[in-house]
Amino acid sequence: MALKWSFALAAGRAEAASLRPQWHDEEHREALWCGICYGQIFASLKAESAGSVSEGAAGARLGTLALIGSARDFLMNTGLMFTGPCVKQCGYVFTAVLGGSLMVVGLLLDSVVPRPLMFLSFSCFSGLGSALLFMPSGVVPFLCFSGPMLPVVVGIASTGGGVGTVVLNILLAHFLDAWGRRSAQRVLALCLLFVLSLNTIALWYSTRQAAEAPEARSESGETASETTQSETEPSETTSSKAEKAEGQCIKSFLEPFSNRSFLLLNVGLLLYMCGFMVPYTHLVYYAEQHGYREAPTLISTIGAAAILGRFFGGLFASVISPSVLFLVVISLQGLSLILLPFCTSGVELHGFSVLFGISSGSRVALLSLLLNELFGVEKVPHYFGLVGAALGIGNLTGPTLVGTIVDMTGSYRAGFWTSASLVLASVPSVLAAIWTNSRQRASEASKGASEV
């Protein structure tokens, strides 16, 4: 049964009326999704390992340390595919509580376990917790809104993630300076618990309106038609119905992989994500290597710029095609990564952070809108979950690859340019996906017109 519901939600087949909060437009609330950047923890772990008896003066290898954060991001994105059972069986509120609890427990474990075990505490707990928190924020706007206002709503809603990321990472930087990594993670866990508690209360208050104001049903319409249908349909055994539903769910789950446009888009997203997470892991340590003492503030600058990018990305998407904006945004990110090795002073590094933050924030808002443009609003929940596999593999590969290149060459230049090349290589693949999709639509339209 769990497998059935996992496939059902991933395929967008779960009943929208039973999942979505029944918000009035004027009472729409923004969800504050909180993301903890690994870059500051990465730099702190590197400093801790330097000079240790087992690892020598150079400390732990950057590729190994980067893999801890990359594994978390991999689990977060791939976990989006299989959060269906929790949402279907328990609802959005319980799913948010479970996700937040996993993140808090992960931070507390990080503060006591030795570094090798952080692959379990940080990577697994934080990764799966982030997936459970992030899933609703990506698809709820498409269940509640439509028309010209949809891109604006998506942009506004996604800014909540930027706000949470900025606040928590500012606190993390202060706590690391004041108390060190282990104590900082304990205090941050308490702060995260407080923020997520407020978020859960707001989510519960919003969804409660669905129970207080259920949709009216016409007694002579829906109820009568259901009765008539049940009387005329041939009876089926419970087991045969279950087998039929199970097969239909699996078929719906696998259907997008036969779509050439969707496959090309996934290839592009995989290449893109290989470069996207690199600054979030390596930028703080890179800046410290160049003597910039306020390196942790770079993550806050990226987060603040990402808030603007998310808002204006959604706003501009209401007048410009999301596919065009998406191509522009990933091109800007590739350009910023090319320039990063030339940024060594504080001003230059913050300039990079602004450019990268605006483009990365816009991408967050535009991805779901791109899926809506290419495949239709009814398929967004399904396709949004499935692209998590490509995003997760890219997250797992990119920062670890750059860390390994730095270990071998002793310089970040080759690593940053490699990640930039991968981001720019995604542009032709995404462009091919858009072009293929337009050809498929034109072919279907002409076929429909000839049949008429």
Q: Per-residue pLDDT tens for 93-104?
A: 788 788 888 888
Tell me the per-residue pLDDT of 64-105, one tens digit each, with 9 for 90 and over: 888 888 888 888 888 877 776 666 677 777 887 888 888 889
pLDDT average, residue stretch 124-134:
83
Residue 394's pLDDT is what?
92
Which residues does 147 contact at the CB level (< 8 Å), separation at least 6?
Answer: none
Which amino acid is residue 144, in one-letter code?
A: C
pLDDT tens profile 238-295 = 555 555 555 566 667 667 778 899 999 999 999 999 998 899 999 999 999 999 988 8
Q: Which two tokens stand for residue 152?
A: 């604006």
Residue 396's SS3 state is: helix
Query: Mutual orientation of helices 346-375 and 278-289 as an angle, nearest 10°?
Result: 180
Q: How far apart are CA 420 and CA 410, in angstroms?
A: 18
What is the mean pLDDT of the segment spanning 357-365?
88
**pLDDT at 399 (0 to 100):** 93
Query: Which tens digit of pLDDT belongs to each residue from 204-237?
Result: 776 665 455 444 444 444 444 444 444 444 445 5
* H-helix segments, 238-277: 238-254, 260-276
> What pLDDT score was predicted for residue 57?
47
Structural domains in the chain? 30-210+257-440 (1.20.1250.20)
Instruction: Give the mean pLDDT of 132-147.
Output: 64
pLDDT bracket for residue 340 (50, 70, 90): very high
pLDDT at 117 over 70: yes
Kindly state the DSSP code that residue 319 receives in the 8-state scheme. T
Any idea of the CA torsion for 360, 387, 83, 118, to the nearest 10 degrees?
-60
Instruction: Say if CB 21 and CB 206 are below 8 A apart.
Output: yes
